[in-house]
Structure 1
Amino acid sequence: MWQQVLLAETPNWSHLDVLQQFWTHLRMEVGYRTLLHYRLGSCDCWFDDVLGTDNSTALMWNNQTYPHYLRHRQDADILAVSCLRFQQYQEVLLALSAMLDQIRSTPVVLQLCGDEDSNRELNSARLMLKQSQDLKMPNVVLLSWKFVTSGTLYSYEMFPEFKLQTLVYQAYRTLFPYKLGNLQGYPIRTIPDNSEPHTIVQKMWNGSITIKGPVWQLMVEFVKHLNGTLQLPIQPHPERSFKLVEILDLVRNQTVDIAASLRPYSVHVQRSSTHIYGFPMMVGNWCAMLPTERVIGSHEALTRLMESPWTWLVLLLLYGLHRFLVLKTRLRSSLVHLTKLLINLALICFLQAQLSAYFIGPQKVNHIANMQQLEESGLKIRGMRSEFMEYPIDMRIRHASSFLLHDVFFDLAQYRNSFNTSYGYTVTSAKWQLYKEAQRHFRRPLFRYSEDICVQKLSLFSLILQDNCLYRHENKRFILRLHEAGLIYLWYRRSYYVMVTAGRFPIGDLSTVHQAQPIRWSEWQYVVLLYGVGLLFSVLVFVIELTVHYVNVCLNNL
């Protein structure tokens, strides 16, 4: 169980100056605020006597069976210390790695207790620190059991391979140097998921494989930054893409350190697995890519015009104004005649403006703004079957018939990359930049990105990292630098041209060109029909007026 350590004044003993100097060195270099003391009953050491009386929180754990997980309670500025015998090192290191899970870069000071000769102690130190490296604990220092007299301590170099260091303590020495600044060619294992446009696997004419794409470019620059190399444990294939489940399996079985796969944070991932996602590389959403609404025909335009109540209201007002001016004409006023001419001119200008607007911006069918309108329009959305469970539950239950699902990613990509306007498609905002850039070369856009129909309104797109990945914090800093420089946005804009070069994307204007054509006979028939209807309506009105007139004459003659 946890116990608050009672800090008593240190007694005066022979090697107090050395120990106090070392402890002060730790406080100055590490700057810890929480001290974790993993204490074993079978071993006594000087940590119990020199625990500082500063403002740090001192915690002691003496249960060897159930190590406590610290990250959700104490996750920053920790220093871990423990005394152990060589026979206990595996048990102690496993317990510390469990307590410091996801924060294993925490500085750890171990002290050997027990009388051992120099050669045996050196072998013990090598085994213990090699175990620390295997557990991904880079900041471990081991103190000799004769440290207070000889000042001997042990550390290790991680890259390019494990190397034990036997050091003598000096006040100027850095106890926990940063080890990830130079990997010295050490390989970082990765695999591209071949998900366009993030990573593009291409087979060249000579049979070699090349990999391109914004995410792969980031991985290349990242390993250059660390002076490392990229290693592919699995040979990628141009016709194969990795699903999220396959990527997770490769990461969890430690085949891959960092997967070159950009994935949105999944709400269905268990809380214990959220650490597999790295720092967000992009922030966006996951919505639908819908065809732009088609231009309605002349028949539909006239039908809409006649169905609108505003049309009949305007006609009624014009007729009333006309009757009013007819009555005023009897006054023989020149101002009234001028007003009639101005009204006729305004009406002609209004009609001309409407006609010009029709040619400049033709009317389109109703804008699809929700799933109900999508279902009524009959438009189907193509997506991946493996991603269907990520959709909102309302979308899956009530509107499942509006989706066409694929098992193979390249089948979906073939429809989407050809700009087939017969369907809509699910697409992330990161991939939409590719299609947006492609449509800059079109006379008119064929698709729009609808933020009204979304799988996730807010998505964090992250790389998939191995559990307790050594490069997590360095990768975070590197991504922040790329964002500040605007390189990630630039790489995604250029991904269109990369895909065109790789033959994965069509080039040119795929939009339909509208050419001037002679008026068809069907259009003339429609005009004649409208003219006949209008003429019939006028004759009917004229007959009604004559009937009213003659009825009044007959009544006056009676």
Structure 2
Amino acid sequence: MAAGLGVMRLFIIFVLGCLCRRLHCVQLDDWPDQADIQEKQQLERLLQRIRLERHFETIVVYGRAPCVFHELLPHLELPTVLLSNGSSLADWRFNSESTLLLCCGLTAEQEHNPRTLLQLQQARRLVQLEAKIRPQWLCALYFAREQHNVAMLDARGNLYSCRLYRQPNYVQLASSSYNSSSDSNSNSGSIYVQQYGNVQGAVIVSEPDQLVPRSMLYRDPSTGQLEMAGFVCNLMKTFVRRVNATLKLRPGIELGKTTYYGTMERRVQQNELDVAGTLASTLTSDNMDYLSYPFVSSSYCFMIPVPARLPYKKIYTMIVEPLVVGVLLLLFLIFSLLLIYSQELSWRRLSLSRVLLNDRCLRGLLGQPFPWPLAASRHLKAICLLLCFASLMTTTMYECYLQSFFTQPPAESMLRSYADFRASPYRIAVERREANRMLKSYNLTTDHSRNAFVLDDWHEFVHLRDTFNASFIYPVTHLRWKSYSEQQKLFKQPVFYYSEDVCLHRFLLMCLPVRRHWPYRRLFEQHTLSMWEFGVMQFWIRRAFSDMVNLNMTKLVDYSSSEPNEEAVYVRDLSWIFYFYATAHLLACLCFAVELCWGRYF
């Protein structure tokens, strides 16, 4: 019995010893490592330093755990997006200015969503540097993606930052302590710097569409090199000088050949150009990622031939207004009734023929003499006096109209609607691709395109419009019309006018096509706003026509009609008078025949 109790006691002691050892082991394992705590604190200070340089409100973590960034997230208390697969499915509306990307390794970030990739192109990145990866390799990889705000953190606590235009392409900012602001290769202690203050001659590829006056291409006589001009090209040239870049034209460009702006957009989308020297509309572009910030606003209306002067023979019909003729006929009837009544102060001699064929009243209103009655009463004299004043006013009015219109004939009516376009002898000249965009973008039907003159070549259409061919109506932006208006000041008389009554669009935002992931996009947009703010762009637009003349991009030719104005009135101009004269004589003969027949048989 005693032996059994002894064995039992030994077993209990053994079990308690194992449990105590197990509890002791758990406490040792769960006890935090002092080195890990220090590393987390240093990483927190690093993120605080980044936040002080430029504030961020959102954190995006690429990569799976275990990662040093995942352990730190509960202490940051910031909105966080975890992308363990390295890419997002939705179009996240991240703001690159207020977003920090934490990448758990070289291959952690594999963003395939194009919209999110564009939004986060300029975002700041902090990458966990793996042991076998060198900083210059990782910087070169991100530079190839055109992502330049990159910093790296290795396992030893060393902090590196990528520098695009330096050799080597990175700098070591801190070693073993994230609070250090020393830079072993640079005097700057900033983690993320502006990479494009001086790009040291980096190439920017562009091409002007050669649509004057916004973009023009010419050969410099002193150097023999192709140069660009125009207010759009001037914007690009000043930006290139501002960032110390090199402007390169697309190979194979043809001098003097106007290129359709849709073709320029396609070349930008295919990464053949960084920025195109043309203007595209936000209404006709399918993808806004390839457009810059709105450059300028304009309207898109029609330039219509100035109405021709009325021929002299139509002046007679023009001055005879139906309302005025009705008033004159009413005066004739009133004076005729008064003359009949005033002769005997009674209605005994009143008849329809005496009212309609009153010779005295007719000749009085026409300003001709008529026989005066021998014994005229006061009533008759008063009526005749009123008749003389009415005839004086009528003849004076029509004589003034005739003299004024014969001196300067009035113009025909202006076109103020699409219905007027269809009724006019003019057709709308338009390039085929532009016609398709009009029908699609402006909800026009085929009824509006029946009177269209469609050309297959954009250069031919521009040449037809630049020569002021008055047989057609042309769509044109108000920016282009300004130069046309200046050019017409040199003409003897204007050929076209800008119609604001019939417009394809009264407010149009115009942008420059830029490559989707062009890293200079933000600086370029800031440069554009600066040019507008300081009035430089307004100056370029005002002097656009002068640049065209100086570069011989326009001919100082009078495209107005060379036919002299007829200063004499010919017999053909009196045709309507002769027709009226013949008609009146026929009516008089008919009345005379009726009177003869009436007197013979009655």
TM-score band (shorter)? Answer: 0.7 to 0.9
Structure 2 partner of 1:391: 438
Pick the aligned partner of 2:81 from 59, 74, 79: 59
Pick the aligned partner of 2:573 from 486, 509, 523: 523
Distance 1:332 1:76 in 2: 99
The reply to whether residue 284 of structure 1 matches residue 298 of structure 2 is yes
Q: Deviations over 1:180-202 (max 9, x none)?
A: 23323322221122223322223
- Contact 1:290–1:425 at 8 Å: present in 2 too? yes
Deviation at 1:275, TM superposition (A): 0.8
- Contact 2:304–2:473 at 8 Å: present in 1 too? yes
Q: What secondary structure sits across from 1:404 in the alignment?
A: strand
| Cα distance change of structure 1 residues 349 and 21 upon mapping to structure 2, 3 Å threshold | farther
- Contact 2:313–2:574 at 8 Å: present in 1 too? no
The reply to whether residue 68 of structure 1 matches residue 89 of structure 2 is yes
Deviation at 1:535, TM superposition (A): 5.4
| Cα distance change of structure 1 residues 363 and 422 upon mapping to structure 2, 3 Å threshold | same
Structure 2 partner of 1:4: none
Distance 1:161 1:505 in 2: 49
Deviation at 1:390, TM superposition (A): 0.2
User: TM-score, normalized by length of structure 1?
Assistant: 0.81
Deviation at 1:397, TM superposition (A): 1.7
Alignment of 1:87-236 (within 5 A): 89-90=106-107, 92=109, 94=111, 99-112=116-129, 116=131, 124-147=134-157, 152-159=158-165, 163-168=169-174, 169-170=178-179, 173-203=189-219, 208-236=225-253
- Contact 1:157–1:164 at 8 Å: present in 2 too? yes
- Contact 1:107–1:176 at 8 Å: present in 2 too? yes
- Contact 1:110–1:140 at 8 Å: present in 2 too? yes
AA at the equivalent of 1:518: A
| Pair member with larger Rg | 2
| Cα distance change of structure 1 residues 538 and 360 upon mapping to structure 2, 3 Å threshold | same
Q: Deviations over 1:451-481 (max 9, x none)?
A: 4444444322111100122122222222222
| Cα distance change of structure 1 residues 360 and 181 upon mapping to structure 2, 3 Å threshold | farther
Deviation at 1:321, TM superposition (A): 4.5
- Contact 1:279–1:462 at 8 Å: present in 2 too? yes
| Cα distance change of structure 1 residues 473 and 256 upon mapping to structure 2, 3 Å threshold | same
Pick the aligned partner of 1:23 from 47, 56, 70: 47
Distance 2:332 2:448 in 1: 49
Distance 1:310 1:193 in 2: 56
Distance 2:54 2:500 in 1: 47
AA at the equivalent of 1:58: T
| Cα distance change of structure 1 residues 234 and 546 upon mapping to structure 2, 3 Å threshold | same
- Contact 1:111–1:144 at 8 Å: present in 2 too? yes
After TM superposition, the runs of 4+ consecutive aligned structure 1 residues lying more than 6 A away are 538-548
Structure 2 partner of 1:323: 336
Deviation at 1:299, TM superposition (A): 2.5
User: TM-score, normalized by length of structure 2?
Assistant: 0.76
Q: What secondary structure sits across from 2:276 in the alignment?
A: strand
AA at the equivalent of 1:138: H
Q: What secondary structure sits across from 1:296 in the alignment?
A: coil
The runs of 5 or more residues in structure 2 that have no matched partner are 1-33, 182-188, 344-375
The runs of 5 or more residues in structure 1 that have no matched partner are 1-10
Q: Deviations over 1:214-238 (max 9, x none)?
A: 2111111121222322122424221
**% identical equivalent positions:** 20
Q: Deviations over 1:386-441 (max 9, x none)?
A: 22210125645223331222222332222211111111222222222221221222
| Cα distance change of structure 1 residues 83 and 188 upon mapping to structure 2, 3 Å threshold | closer
The reply to whether residue 426 of structure 1 matches residue 475 of structure 2 is yes
| Cα distance change of structure 1 residues 304 and 535 upon mapping to structure 2, 3 Å threshold | same
- Contact 2:428–2:451 at 8 Å: present in 1 too? yes
Q: What secondary structure sits across from 2:192 in the alignment?
A: coil
The reply to whether residue 377 of structure 1 matches residue 424 of structure 2 is yes
Q: Deviations over 1:260-286 (max 9, x none)?
A: 12222343x43xx32101112221233
| Cα distance change of structure 1 residues 442 and 245 upon mapping to structure 2, 3 Å threshold | closer
Distance 1:97 1:133 in 2: 18
Structure 2 partner of 1:8: none
Distance 1:185 1:57 in 2: 40
